[in-house]
Each structure stands twice: as structure tokens, then as C-alpha cells.
A and B are shown apart, each in its own frame.
Chain A
Amino acid sequence: SAVISQKPSRDICQRGTSLTIQCQVDSQVTMMFWYRQQPGQSLTLIATANQGSEATYESGFVIDKFPISRPNLTFSTLTVSNMSPEDSSIYLCSVRGDEKLFFGSGTQLSVL
């Protein structure tokens, strides 16, 4: 199993600002996944972060809006840039182990 620490757990931000979310895993993993869960909706994959290479973004998500860092095999950050109220969501980082996903506790973001 994997234990994932994600922070902040929640934040309230002003429109136009940026927020960086951190994700720390207790073991080395090749891929880390970032998901978004909009209010009352399912999880949507934003991007896959590999150590030593650029993240792979899903359709509808771009690097300028959601830059990702992956400096080592246990850590990743996701930045939500130039925020608008539409970015209000829960952001989750995830890793795979034993063919299943482990999730951080999530970051609940509210943009005013």
C-alpha cells in the first residue's frame, strides 16, 4: 500500500491568483496522477506526472493552466494558475500500487 500526504487540505482563493498543491508519497513511484472532482461530479484525470519528463495532459487540460512538477520519485506539485470560480473543485493526487489506485485526502479549492 501507499500513504499519500496532500496539502493544503483546503483553501479559499481570490480570482486571478494561483495555488500550488503538494503531494508526498511514502514510497517511490513511477507515475503520479492528478484528478479533479468538481462539485457533485466524478473524477476527471488532469495529467500524469512522470519523474524526469514533462507531464502528460488529458484533453481539455493545458500546461499553462495546470503546471506540474515532479522533481523526484516521491513528490509532485500541481499548480492551478490564474484561477476563476470554475476552478472550484477537489483536486486529488493518486499513485498506483498492486494494480489499484491510492489517493491523497484531497485539496478542496474554493475560488471567489
Chain B
Amino acid sequence: AQSVAQPEDQVNVAEGNPLTVKCTYSVSGNPYLFWYVQYPNRGLQFLLKYITGDNLVKGSYGFEAEFNKSQTSFHLKKPSALVSDSALYFCAVRDGGGGFKTIFGAGTRLFVKA
């Protein structure tokens, strides 16, 4: 069975500072890893994914994430946070070895203060 852990319920960062939102995963096969963002009163949007290849993946709105197989982590990062980045972020995983279900972490609320 696969699972995702987001250890922080909330992350607070000042505008202009770098941000990191943490995620660790467990899956029996090859991990397909994703980050999604949910803005207030809006639907869930895809940010980025890791399927294979380069461990550092870049996504929308200047976000990036690094796949670390030994630590089973996929932390989301951005060099310089914006107030508009304030939202709920979900890490998700799917078993790439034929799995069809995507399992989501509990979510981390990001607050960026001006």
C-alpha cells in the first residue's frame, strides 16, 4: 500500500524568503510523485510531477521539487515566496508499477506574510 506524509500542518514564511514544504512517501513500486495546490474557493491545480529522470523537477509558478530516493522524500521548494503563494499544498503518490490510485497527503497550509 502507498502512503504520503506531510509532517507540517502549516508553514509560515516572509515574502521574498525561500520556502520548503516537506513530503515523504511510501510505495512498493516506482514512485510517481506529485504536488497539487488548492487556492481558496478554487479547485485543485497540478503544480509538478516526478515520474523518472532528473531528480530536480520544475513546475508552475516557479516551484520546484527534489526527488530523493534514499530519504523517500519529495520536498517542494521555491527560492523566493510571494504572498500569492499562500494556499493549501498537497503531496501525492501513485505506484508506477501498474497502480491506478493516487493517494494524497494531509496537506500543508502555506502562509506568506508581506
Closest to A103 in B: B44
Contact of B49 among A33, A35, A99 (CB under 8 A): A99
Please tell me the number of chain B residues within 8 Å of chain A, measured between CB atoms: 20
| A101 to B103 Cα, complex, angstroms | 11
B38 to chain A, nearest CB (A): 9
The DSSP consensus for interface residues of chain B is strand
Please tell me the number of chain A residues within 8 Å of chain B, measured between CB atoms: 20
10 pairs, CB–CB < 8 Å, chain A vs chain B: A41-B106, A42-B107, A45-B101, A48-B100, A96-B100, A96-B102, A100-B46, A101-B102, A103-B43, A103-B44
* A31 close to B (CB within 8 Å): yes
| A101 to B37 Cα, complex, angstroms | 12
- Judging by beta carbons under 8 Å apart, are A42 and B100 in contact? no
Which B residues lie within 8 Å of A45 (CB)? 101-103
9 further interface pairs, Cβ-Cβ under 8 Å (given A41-B107, A45-B102, A48-B101)? A33-B102, A58-B101, A99-B49, A99-B51, A100-B49, A101-B34, A101-B46, A101-B102, A103-B45
